Amino acid sequence: MHSIFISGAAQGIGAAIATLFYQHGYKVGIYDINVVQAQKLAQHLGTNAKAGLLDVCHYEQWQQALNEFQAWAGEINILVNNAGILYSGAFEQTDIAAHQRTFNINVNGVVNGCHAALPFLRQASFARVINLSSASAIYGQPDLVSYSASKFAVRGITEGLDIEWQKYGIRVLDVMPLFVQTAMVKEMDAGSIQNMGVHLTAEDVAQTIYARVQAKDSMFTKTHEPVGLKTKIMFNLSKVSPQFVNRISTMFLATRK
């Protein structure tokens, strides 16, 4: 029985991932800074789910959580770096602490997770890393500057490690959803969400991640996987459009009504 370790798994996308993989017979690690809610989800799912405390900003907590989960599960096959936060609104009107916290969780959390998990993944019979990037990593987003930049960083981490860890037989992939119906986007202050709406569910993202894990590995396996039709169109157009077209498109989509 394969296992999956998910950060930020107590609610939203993380909980949807945990639920889907549990239904498909995986041992599931539900780790979150909100350990009480994580434990409730694990109890709800059943005996093949384990919950624990994890603040992704602290490397030592990663080491402790991964050791604990491997001792329980036997091996760690899948790491999902899901934990993340989002602050929206004008850059200069957002407190500097919020900008810094965004990078600490969204970027350092992924770096910590990948670095701490590698010794465990190398021991596994099959191993894969899935990072949560975003459609905001296609082109820098106004009113979401720090969040967008943090997801560009996740995109870069994914690309680099996907090549570097070939020597270990470990693929590092990501998913890139547009706005998802979770608590994170409620009362979001950005023109792009007003114009594009929120049509994806946490389950949509979970299904894409499950497909990424199940896909047979080959040289044609994509490092990035946009989630949803709108994201796929934006992602593919950005690869062939001149930069000024991408900039104008982003300006248009971000214009407040």
Q: Write out the catalytic residue numbers.
A: 147, 151
Q: How far apart are CA 86 and CA 14, in angstroms?
A: 15
Four-point Cα dihedral 150, 106, 98, 144, nearest 10: 40
Q: How far apart are CA 235 and CA 104, in angstroms?
A: 26
Output the DSSP codes for 71-125.
Answer: HHHSS--EEEE-------S-GGGS-HHHHHHHHIIIIIHHHHHHHHHHHHHHHSS
Yes or no: say if 232 and 176 are a contact pair by the CB < 8 Å rule: no
Other CB atoms within 10 Å distance of the CB of residue 222: 10
Partners of residue 128 on adjacent β-strands: 78, 171
Q: How far apart are CA 41 and CA 53, in angstroms?
A: 13
User: Pick from 9, 16, 61, 4: which is nearest to 227 by CA?
Assistant: 16
Yes or no: say if 191 and 179 are a contact pair by the CB < 8 Å rule: no
142-169: b (≥16 Cβ within 10 Å) or e: bbbbbbbbbbbbbbebbeebbeebeeee
Question: Hunting for tokens 């044609």 — which residue is that?
Answer: 220
